[in-house]
Amino acid sequence: MDDSDACGGGNPCSPSALSPLPTLSLVVPCYTPKRLDDIFRLFDSIASQTSRIDEVVVVVQQSRELMELLHSRLERWASAPIRLLFLDATPQVCMARNAALSEVNSDIIAFVDDDSALDEDWAAATKAFYCSRPDVIGTAGAILPLWDSPAMAWFPRELYWMLSCTYWTWTSPVPVRNGYGANMSFRREAFDGRRFSEACGIGAWGTGGWRGVGGEEPELALRVTEATGRPILYVPDIRVWHRVRAHRLRTKSLLRRAYWEGRLKAALSHRELRTPGVLHTEVGLLREMWRAQISRLRLLMAHPRLALRQQHVVLLAVTAVGLGFLEGRLRRERLKSVGDAVGGNGESNR
């Protein structure tokens, strides 16, 4: 079913009909001038959209140098509704997102990373999908790797999650637990009394590698779906490209990311009684990885070095995740919501 069919006869999703397309805001956290070229590429992709993004809030954290550089060059994207917001706080993505949530006014609030680039139909696909599926509270869009070098494309797809990209191969919308911060969105009502937890999540980590349990995205998504009873869907037609720098494929970086991912899964597992099937995503990933290993047997015959290289990194990742999960369980690691962190109550603790 395409979007026009899903919207019903006469396509009420069209701007000229009685039910107009929803308005769309985009939130972009950033923190360092080292990503200036990435941010400019993102701004170019915003200006090139086939459907207008109604407002773009770029949250610059702590770096006045970056704020000045962006402000001085903003005229280049005069046709795009880009607004800069300065946050004088230690770079932490959940803090930037929460600051922006107080500034946006659209029906749909989307989030991307500053080193992402939007597909030209990203906004059109986002608006059309929400219009066609009033039952959905949020979306997880496809995140495709934008390699710094074509030589990096050897990396196994089932491990794309280690690069903050989506590994899913579905070609139509499917319910998922949560999206990734490089391409996710929610209806505005998802944030009624709720914000990203500042008690979990990681800060800016650059070339030093992933540090900390993370988890602000699944933690919020679980609270939102529990409170609203409405699903989050992976939508492959809502696409972005996410830059993958060469250092992220180094063994040390991969091991660190995998280890902390295991710690995150341990923290999530403590919600099993409260939220049955909370690790369903991970179970599905293990099945996907098993199928990939079977397919790799054929690759072994044609390209043995490539197959062995992929197999090696898969085994390293699984081992590191397992160790992180075991340590997290021993530590009784848990994800904390905003309410848990500040002693609040109400929606934040749901």
Q: What is the pLDDT along the chain (350 residues), one digit of tens a residue?
A: 344 333 433 344 654 444 588 999 999 999 999 999 999 999 999 999 999 999 999 999 999 999 999 999 999 999 899 999 999 988 788 999 999 999 999 999 999 999 999 999 999 999 999 999 999 999 999 999 999 999 999 999 999 999 999 999 999 999 999 999 999 999 999 999 999 988 776 655 555 555 566 788 999 999 999 999 999 999 999 999 999 999 999 999 999 999 998 998 888 887 765 666 778 888 888 888 888 888 888 888 889 999 999 999 999 999 999 999 999 999 888 877 654 333 333 333 32
Task: Provide the residue range defining the domain that includes 168.
Answer: 3-250
Residue 290 lies inside a defined structural domain of this protein: no
Residue 279 lies inside a defined structural domain of this protein: no
Residue 208 lies inside a defined structural domain of this protein: yes
Residue 40 lies inside a defined structural domain of this protein: yes
Residue 139 lies inside a defined structural domain of this protein: yes
Q: What pTM does this model have?
A: 0.87
Residue 268 lies inside a defined structural domain of this protein: no
Residue 42 lies inside a defined structural domain of this protein: yes
- Cα separation, 212 vs 246, in Å, equals 21
The pLDDT value recorded for residue 283 is 81
- Cα separation, 248 vs 251, in Å, equals 8
Please report where in the chains the tokens 């340590």 appear, as a residue. Answer: 327
Helix, coil or strand: residue 102: coil
What is the token pair recorded at 238? Answer: 């809502």
Structural domains in the chain (count): 1
Helix, coil or strand: residue 250: coil
- Number of Cβ within 10 Å of residue 137's Cβ equals 21
Q: Residue 219 belongs to a domain with what CATH number?
A: 3.90.550.10
Residue 69 lies inside a defined structural domain of this protein: yes
The pLDDT value recorded for residue 46 is 98
